[in-house]
Structure 1
Amino acid sequence: MKAVQQAVEVSLTGGGEPGRLIWDNRTYPIRGVLDQWRYGGRWWLSEPPRTCYLVQAGGLIAELHHEDSTDAWWLARIQD
C-alpha cells in the first residue's frame, strides 16, 4: 500500500459507514467495507482516537481514517 495522508470528503450511508469518497476531484463509490478498527492515537503526542476503515472504492483499496473529535476524514493509504 502507498501512503497518501491527504484530507478527503466522505459521505456516510444510512448505517453510518463510508458510502462515497471524494479524492483528487474524483468520486469513488464505496462498494464495501473490508475491515474496521479503532486506533487510540499516540497519546504522548496528544493524538485523538480515530476509527479506521479499509474499503473497496471504485478500483482502489483505500484506508480511511475518521478523527472522532473533529469529524475530519483523511485518506491514509491506497492500493490501486
Structure 2
Amino acid sequence: MSRIYGDPIEVWTRDGEPARFVWRDRLYVVRRVLDHWVTSREWWRIAESDPGERRFWRVEASPGGDTGTYELRFDTASGGWLMLRAWD
C-alpha cells in the first residue's frame, strides 16, 4: 500500500539522479532507481514562455535500516523537490 505526501525534501544528486535525500529529519541513501519519467508542466496555466518540466523518480532508499520505495519529484521551474509517495 502507498501513501501520498507532497512534502518538500532536500535532495543530493549524482549524474543527474537522486543519490540521497532528507525527509522528516532522516537521511535516506538511494540504493537503486526503479523508474524515471518526465512530464511537461501545465503550460496553458502559466504565463511564462518556458513552463518547465516535472521529473519523477521511483527509488529504493534506506535511512540505514529497512529499504523502502519512494517517489520523488523535481520541478525544473521552481527548482524544488517533493516526496510524493512512499510504499509500505
Given the two structures, how large is their TM-score scaled by the length of structure 2?
Answer: 0.80
Corresponding residue for residue 84 of structure 2? 76
Shift of 1:49: 2.1
Corresponding residue for residue 49 of structure 1? 53
Long gaps (5+) in structure 1: none
Shift of 1:44: 4.3
- Runs of 4+ in structure 1 displaced over 4 angstroms? none
Amino acid at match of 1:11: W
Distance in 1 of aligned mates of 2:45 and 2:9: 23
SS in 1 for 2:77: coil
How many positions carry a matched residue from both structures?
Answer: 79
Per-residue CA deviations over 1:42-64 (Å, capped at 9, x if unaligned) read 34443752100000011220000
Amino acid at match of 1:38: V
Long gaps (5+) in structure 2: none
Corresponding residue for residue 7 of structure 1? 8
Corresponding residue for residue 23 of structure 1? 23
Distance in 2 of aligned mates of 1:45 and 1:76: 22
RMSD, aligned α-carbons: 1.4
Distance in 2 of aligned mates of 1:70 and 1:37: 18
Given the two structures, how large is their TM-score scaled by the length of structure 1?
Answer: 0.88
Shift of 1:79: 0.5
Amino acid at match of 2:79: D
